Chain A
């Protein structure tokens, strides 16, 4: 097994780390899109997250790793099983499935098992990458190079959480709920708006310009490559602590409160910044809640909202050809305008 660069050894890239951790705490956030220049460590961070995730309980023998505790989300095979004896369960690492370039539709959706069909005449379904990614992460590196027909089916499945296969005489539907993580270089071409909308959070990363930080990054990378096992062992304590924090965050998540003031402020920010649709607002509040849970707070405050606002709204801002400041700046400006408004209103009331 190849060693993976530890998440806790990543230097800088705070926004990216927070977004990935928020998605780990609340997988229903809708995934993370990571855009950045070459050599910024986009895919390093995503792959590092995989090694960090806590294990999950699955029904033994289920090809879609259904959760024994969630009968409502079971696949047809698990539902068809008699209720007693109760299905055996086991622990599995959370799948982080790569959607490689050049993947073909049959391997993504799943297809007829050719060998069984030809040799035994049995019509059997062979699950694809979407089945493997159920309850885990689906990672698309170079997401803007993904073939159009794969983008289409990805949009559909990511939205519905169900993969429906009607081909080659098969009629199969199975759960395919996954956190979609994409990364790419914005210079390589744009993403379809429909796909863009499937990502809850969108992060832009750059290489740090601080020389000390750059030296540290190169040094750690070099140390890792020269002795992967030793490096990973060295960072194990930090990794375990982080994993614990994710678990604690998941537990706390349902109890984290979002009060009316926070909701109101979010929707005012969205209106002011000019976002399309309601999804931005919703994602922003949920991401802030996940972050609060991760950091051990019982309530969503302004700090959390501010931290997640750029990631939640950046890819949903209406295009403005006359504004060249960039999306982060626009959100910052909207926040400042809201603050000024609030200060004026406070003054009037006093």
Chain B
């Protein structure tokens, strides 16, 4: 799941090299944290969080197959 979020985020930002995704599992829920270059925050959040919402939608669909909930934190 981490790799997928990393791939998506790297495709959207100007500085793919500074994208970091960390993954931690707590109580059966996967917590992902996405960090990007400060200049790129807008590229992963979008107007009114539209991009963030889209990434979370995709993540939700992908995590259905794993049967595990994923939670994505950006920042």
Chain A complexes with chain B: no
Give A residues with C-beta under 8 Å from B. Answer: none
Give B residues with C-beta under 8 Å from A. Answer: none
